[in-house]
Amino acid sequence: MSLVAGVVLGAISIQWVAFLVLAVVAIAAALVVVLHRSPVVGAMGLVTNFLCIAGIYVLLNAYFFAALQVIIYAGAVVVLITFVIMLLNLQPEAKGGPGVVPVALAALLGLALIAVVGRPLLEYAAPEAGPPAPDFGTVAQVGEALFTVYFYPFLAVSLALLSAMVGAVLLAKRRLED
């Protein structure tokens, strides 16, 4: 309620509210992915996480990248993962695993990492960045940078994608014909 009052009074901007909502849902979805025993539920949590991150990209004015995120990550990668889960008919994971001590240690280390990284981030008062450049996040600007400055990495990634396609088809074949 105080959040709503804050927005109405203009103290907290709508962007902050949107960011907080998206961040909380993204973190909750990520926790579903790593904690829920059924892989399909985890995959749907992953989709939710990717969609929230795409929303955060829109908040950051990176519209082209938000669209790419939804199309590639949420719309293709997760569909592929879900396909494989359904094809292999994977059941929810049985109990067990590494045991309580390693998992608890991992959780503690994770929290420690967040604390170590987070404190300077929240304390540091960055200089005001000012309004965004008019063509930031547009297809034209990203495309120009991709095809001029980053052309060799682009070619390398294309070759990597090609080899990944061939490799995936080969690895998943039933039997290697000699």
Partner 1 sequence: MVGDPGPYLLLAAVLFVIGAFGVISRRGAITILMSIELMLNSANLALIAVSRFLPGDGGAGVPDGQVIGFLVLAIAAAEVAVGLAIVIAMFRLRESVDVDLARLLRW
Partner 2 sequence: MDLFDVVATIVKVALVVGILISTVPVLTWVERRGSAFIQLRLGPNRVGPLGLLQPLADGIKFLFKEDVIPPHVYKLFYVAAPAVSFIAAVLAFAVIPFGSAFVVDGRTVPLVILDVDVGVLFLLAASGMGVFGIILAGWSSNNKYSMLGGLRSSAQMISYELSLGLAIVSVLIYAGTLRPVEIVQQQIGGTWNVFPLFIGFLILLVSAFAETNRLPFDLPEAETELVAGYHTEYSSMKFSMFFMAEYINMITGSALVTTLFLGGYALPFQRLVFEGWLGLEGNLLAVLELLSFTAKVGFFLWLFVWVRWTLPRFRFDQLMRLGWKVLIPLALVHVVWASLLVMWGVPA
**Residues 4-63, interacting with partner 1 (CB under 8 A):** 13, 15-16, 19, 23, 26-27, 30-31, 33-34, 39, 42-43, 46, 49-50, 53, 56-57, 59-62
Taking the C-alpha atoms of residue 46 and residue 81, their distance in angstroms, rounded to an integer, is: 10
Q: At what angle do helices 139-147 and 151-171 cross, to 10 degrees?
A: 90
Could you say whether residue 88 binds partner 1 (CB under 8 A)?
yes
Radius of gyration from C-alpha coordinates of the chain: 21
Q: Are 92 and 37 in contact (CB under 8 A)?
A: yes
Could you say whether residue 77 binds partner 2 (CB under 8 A)?
no
Binding mask 8-27 for partner 2 (x = CB under 8 A): --------------------
**Nearest CB to partner 2, comparing residues 117 and 147:** 147
Question: Which of partner 2, partner 1, none sits in contact with 67, Cβ below 5 to 8 A by type?
Answer: partner 2
Select the residue interacting with partner 1 from 5, 11, 21, 114 (CB under 8 A). Answer: 114
Amino acid symbol at 129: A
Q: Of the candidates 35, 3, 39, which has an alpha carbon nearest to the alpha carbon of residue 20?
A: 3
